[in-house]
Structure 1
Amino acid sequence: MTHYESTGHLLLTPVDREAPARALRLREMGLGERVDAELDAFARRVADTLGAPYAGVNFVGEERQFFAGLHHGPDAAAGGYPARVLPRDHGYCPHVVVRRRALVLEDVRDFARFAGNAVVDGSGVRSYLGAPLTDRHGFVLGTVCAVDVVPRRWGTQGLATAKALAAELGGLLDDRSARRG
């Protein structure tokens, strides 16, 4: 369903009715509040596997996103991207979380809804691939994502790889949460 502001303008970030429950689940699992070396290593694996200069493990809360795992390769441009914390209306991960489906944007400028996002001008994002990170209870906690500063073809293999990595990490997080509690 497409949501509009009261002014009739298309919302750039979708309404997230599951955000309060997700935020509670993230707290229960001890996720989304601090940098995690294991998740940084996983993000590095995502970047290496997909051949992307940037990758992240992003948890989407009620008001913000937090990249508990983040990687930028040696060839990544210096500058504002990537940031560990982003407002909920920046980037593309909130779309993945609300839709509960992967999102592939070979060139974000090709899509009016995505071209005007703050990360395009502020951080130079041109290409995005994100898959939902789901726990065993069916909560979409966030995303596993890869980003490039140039348009690129992720292809069906890239999409399948991102989904597989997200499923693997979901299982690992469930196991880690079970050991904690």
Structure 2
Amino acid sequence: MSYEPPRPAGRLLLTPQDKDAAARVRRLRGMGLGARAEPAFDAFADRLAEVTAVPYSMVNFIDENRQFFAGLHTPDGDGLRDGFGGGPGVVGRYMARDYGFCPHVVVRRKALVLEDVCDYPRFAGNPVVDEIGVRSYLGAPLIDHTGIVLGTVCAVDIEPRPWGRAGLETIKSMAAELVQQIELREGGGLPEG
């Protein structure tokens, strides 16, 4: 699979073309994922936020048009609502594919570490930088046993963060752990939600 970096379109940067979106949506629907928030995913996002010491973390499933945070941790739970918007610093359960960095992780099929998004012209113009105040991002893909990238797990900070190799290993490990939990659930090993 090839990856083409996004090209500037005025101030916004284009989200990379996602040729696997239709297959991902079929797989997510077949697994019953990506349509509703689940307490187990919120708990996972809470733990990820604690481990990485960030104000925001997500379990994110992505379809052709939007991102859905099935697991979401925000400061004091103030962003736990349906929708996106409502002012600076507000994160809801849904976000357009053009917002954020997770769609890039999905297409790249590998982790993305941005210690300071402003250091990367490709990412600095993303709407989440100004609208939410994102300055640092750490994300990894959720790749299941069929080879489909279901979505991502990510940790986000409003301050630059020196994630280093330890941060990269942490996010990759957390992603692998969640994929294992999802596959156990699919096989009947764990209860849903």
Q: Same fold (TM over 0.5)?
A: yes
1:148 to 157, 160, 180: 157
Counterpart position of 2:123: 114
Please give the residue correspondences for 1:158-177 in structure 2 after superposition, counting only pairs within 5 Å: 158-177=167-186
Deviates more, 1:71-80 or 1:125-134: 71-80
C-alpha distance in 1 between matches for 2:23 and 2:181: 21
1:2-59 Cα shifts (integer Å, max 9, x gaps): 2677x9x995310000000001100001010101100000001101111111111000
C-alpha distance in 2 between matches for 1:79 and 1:11: 20
Please give the residue correspondences for 1:31-110 in structure 2 after superposition, counting only pairs within 5 Å: 31-74=33-76, 79-110=88-119
CA-CA distance at 1:83 after TM superposition = 1.9
C-alpha distance in 1 between matches for 2:6 and 2:57: 31
Residues 4 and 10 (structure 1 numbering): CA distance in 2 closer, same or farther, change over 3 Å?
farther
C-alpha distance in 2 between matches for 1:164 and 1:67: 19
Counterpart position of 2:16: 14
Contact 2:88/2:133, CA 8 A, preserved across alignment: no
Number of equivalent positions: 178
Matched, 1:135 2:144: yes
Letter of the 2:17 partner, please give it: V
Counterpart position of 1:157: 166
Contact 1:136/1:171, CA 8 A, preserved across alignment: no
Residues 114 and 34 (structure 1 numbering): CA distance in 2 closer, same or farther, change over 3 Å?
same
2:187 is paired with a residue whose SS is: helix
Contact 2:106/2:152, CA 8 A, preserved across alignment: yes
Contact 1:47/1:71, CA 8 A, preserved across alignment: yes
CA-CA distance at 1:84 after TM superposition = 1.0
Letter of the 2:60 partner, please give it: N
C-alpha distance in 1 between matches for 2:12 and 2:72: 30
Q: TM-score, normalised by structure 1?
A: 0.91
CA-CA distance at 1:177 after TM superposition = 1.3
C-alpha distance in 1 between matches for 2:47 and 2:134: 20
C-alpha distance in 2 between matches for 1:76 and 1:153: 26
Structure 1: any 5+ residue segments left out of the alignment?
none
